Amino acid sequence: MPTMPTCRSGLFSRRQALLMGGGAAALAVAGVPWPAAAIGRIAAGDAEITIVSDGHLVLPAPFVLPDVPEADRAALLSGNGMSTETLNPDCNISFVRAGDRLAIFDVGSGPNFMPSAGKLLENLAEAEIDPADVTDVIFTHAHPDHFWGLTDEFDELIFSNATYRMAEAEWNFWRADDTLEKMPEDRKSFVVGAQGRMPLIEEKIELFTPGTEVFPQVEAVDTPGHTPGHVSFMVHGGSDPVLIVGDVLANPVSFARPDWHWGTDHDPQIGSATRKKLLDRIAAEKVRLIGFHLPHPGAGTAEAHDGAYRFVPAA
């Protein structure tokens, strides 16, 4: 991205009260539900997946799809019902509950990235999720809209009772002494933001490699390119697994033209190869997927279409 300026106990913390605001808090206290526009739910075997909106990003189309002729970009965007000037990709955060454990996959933007994003905490009460109940925080990668939501506006860890997990290659990349120097100018803030937050979880972090079971019935899948250590997560169980894909499939255009890279892909060639391989697998195995930036709630499938694929939202 470019550089840019219920608590089931019935008790609200200072953070929850401030974030919910007067109207929402009054409804919650009164026991009156409000519309569930921010929530989606699907099942994967014995696990329940809840998808909570963190808001959306606001990005110039040429930034999202660079190095693509303007006419080609405009034609494909408009053909998918998207603006040719400015894109507003959703930010969908997945929670997986298994027994007495609750995992969150990525933590959103937090309060310091974009005004249109960082809405996770506002929506958690609607999903009946208390941050204190989250036992596992698991990352696809450490870009701002996935990682900066570690802390609230008071610089306190939001999921303070959790264990944190990140792919070893991803953690080492952002922590390396030369990463800031090598990063393009428009993404140097990504490095500063990641390196400023990583010490807060250094004593709680558990590093893993692809193929590891990072949570009951959840396997880390190697999907590099967008970042060096980017991973996705296969939620096994039952006959229909679900793949939480992070940013490897960043918008509907990624399905039709997997060779076109997302503007923040660290290695466009590896990213393209990863997308093609993953789409082949998703379509062949009929895997359901949840895309962080696909239209909310981001759940659906990939099916063959015109020599490539298309995203089919879940009914």
Within-domain flag for 6: no
Q: How confident is the model over 196-205, as a mean pLDDT?
A: 96
List pLDDT tens digits, range 201-231.
999 999 999 999 999 999 999 999 999 999 9
- For the chain, the domain total comes to 1
Sign of CA dihedral 23, 25, 27, 30: negative
1 falls within a domain: no
Judge whether 105 lies within some domain. Answer: yes
pLDDT given at position 4: 37
| pLDDT value of residue 315 | 80
Any domain includes 5:
no
Q: Tell me, what's the pLDDT at 46? A: 82
The CATH number of the domain where 163 resides is what?
3.60.15.10
Least confident of 13-22, 136-145, 295-304: 13-22
2 within domain boundaries: no
Q: 140 lies in a domain?
A: yes
What value does the mean pLDDT take over residues 278-283? Answer: 96
Residue 30 in any domain: the answer is yes
Q: Residue 280: which residues within 8 A CB-CB, separation 6 or more? A: none
Res 239: pLDDT: 78
Res 153: pLDDT: 86
89-106 confidence digits (pLDDT tens): 999 999 999 999 999 999
Strand 47-56: give its sheet, edge to edge: 39-44, 47-56, 90-98, 101-105, 136-138, 163-167, 205-208
* pLDDT one-digit tens code per residue, 31-87: 333 344 688 999 888 889 999 999 999 999 999 999 899 999 999 999 988 999 999
Across the chain, what does the average pLDDT equal? Answer: 88
Task: For 232-274, write each residue's pLDDT tens digit.
Answer: 999 997 778 999 999 999 899 999 999 998 899 999 999 999 9
> Does some domain include residue 234?
yes
Using 50, 70 and 90 to split pLDDT, how confident is the model at 9?
A: very low
**Predicted TM-score (pTM) of this structure:** 0.88
Lowest mean pLDDT among 3-17, 133-147, 216-230: 3-17
* pLDDT, average across residues 129-149: 97
Q: Of all residues in the chain, what percent carry a pLDDT higher than 70?
A: 88
Question: Where in the sequence is the domain holding 263, given as residue range(s)?
Answer: 14-313
Where does the chain show beta strands of DSSP type E? Answer: 39-44, 47-56, 59-60, 86-87, 90-98, 101-105, 136-138, 163-167, 205-208, 213-215, 218-222, 231-235, 242-244, 288-290, 299-305, 308-313
In this prediction, residue 274 carries a pLDDT of 97
